[in-house]
Homo-oligomer: A and B are copies of this chain.
Amino acid sequence: MASNAKRATQDEPATVLGHCPRFHAAIELIGRRWNGVILQRLLTGPLRFSEIRRGVPGLTDAMLSQRLRELEDAAVVKRIVTDQRPVQVTYALTPIGSQLSPVLTAVADWSVQWAERDERAT
């Protein structure tokens, strides 16, 4: 509740917080099951399929495969295949994907405060 502007004027370029379908799509992409954690892991650098899976307990092959493809379609993740003999595939964030860093940091930050509320109630 940063401002008391009840209703933005229609000409407002919708400061980041106006009703905006991009925002909607973005937050649901990031928040889609598993995606947040996958992205979080990728933020530390490129990883192989199995490395991601190992880092995310409960995530199955099928799910990871599907999510990775969605993330690729969203241009957030890039799939890299090496020509090497033991074909090696790695996944990395694209430039726009890397820019999710502040977003994920903000969420991680908030989640700590949010968790405190629970711990206190214990």
Contacts and interface: CB of A to CB of B under 8 A. Distances in A.
Interface stretch (A32-40, A64-72, A81-89): A32-40
B6 A23 contact: no
Nearest to A111: B26
Contacts of A107: 23, 26-27, 30, 103
A96 interface: yes
B17 A55 contact: yes
A77 to B, nearest CB: 12
A31 B36 contact: yes
Residue from A35, A93, A117 whose CB has the most chain B CB atoms within 10 Å:
A117
Contacts of A56: 19
Interface of A: 1-6, 16-20, 22-33, 35-37, 40-41, 43-46, 55-57, 74-76, 92-93, 96, 98-115, 117-118
Given A2-B109, A28-B33, 4 more contacts: A1-B45, A17-B55, A22-B114, A27-B104
